[in-house]
Amino acid sequence: MKRITAGLTAIALWSVMLAAPFMGGCNGTTVAQQIVNWTPTIISATQTLDAVVATLDPAQAALILPAGVAFVAGATLLEEQAKTYLANPSATTLGQLQAQALAFQANVTTALLNAVKIVNPATQQKLLTYLNAAVTGVSAILALIMNIKGSTLTPASVTAPKLAAILPLMNRDEDVALIAQHEDISTEQANVAFNVGMARLQAAGL
């Protein structure tokens, strides 16, 4: 029964995005806790990403970390903003959370596109695996942000890669498995959550 209840909760949080414009949004505090719950997954992935990038020569490392910005630093800022919003769900803290999530998303999607240029196959696969987890996590956060009344997601910049461009590089089975594990739901339910979430984000221009 716990698994069924959790599954319905997870699907509701993702699927309600389709109805959110007609419902006036969702309770910010409830969604904020779900957002905070996703940040450890992202930080775990970014810790490995930074470690792998550290083994690359400078030219290849630059492909993955634009301007030398470490993934862990971005993920940590995202976690801090999520916790700040949870503690004080105001328009100001929501705006800050949105901005940080979009900036992080732009970095990881750019890195995912560039990872295919890494010449060592084993290193490339490691990067793709953990970038995939980071993209899935931040996409979940962005999808949840869209449930909050007053949220207005737009791409971080005109040059930010679109999700449509990076989806072919993502491992769908890993994405769905990560969602299923994180939300304690079935693979079928996680698949629905993934489809709904990505469709809604792309409709917003991401």
Reply yes or no on whether the pLDDT at 15 is more than 90. no
Task: Output the CA–CA distances (angstroms, integers) from residue 145 to 96, 98, 133, in the order listed.
Answer: 12, 7, 18
The better pLDDT of the pair 183, 9 is held by 183
Query: For residue range 28-74, what is the model confidence (pLDDT) as tens digits?
Result: 678 889 999 999 999 999 999 999 999 999 999 998 987 556 899 99
**pLDDT > 90: percent of the chain:** 66
Burial class (CB in 10 A: 0-12, 13-18, 19+), 149: middle
Based on the structure, what is the number of domains in the chain? 1
Task: Report phi then psi at 205, rounded to 5.
Answer: 100, 0
pLDDT at 67: 58
Q: Which tens digit of pLDDT belongs to each residue from 154-181? A: 887 888 889 999 999 999 999 999 999 9
Mean residue pLDDT of the chain comes to: 84
Give the pTM: 0.84
Instruction: Give the CATH number, domain containing residue 181.
Output: 1.20.120.230
Helix, strand and coil in the chain, % to nearest 5? 80, 0, 20
Cα→Cα distances 182→18, 34, 42, 153, 187, Å: 22, 11, 11, 24, 11
Domain ranges, residue 137: 2-203
What DSSP state is assigned to residue 186? -
pLDDT band at 24 (very low <50, low <70, confident <90, very high): very low
Question: Who's near 66: CB < 8 A, 6+ residues apart?
Answer: 107, 110, 111
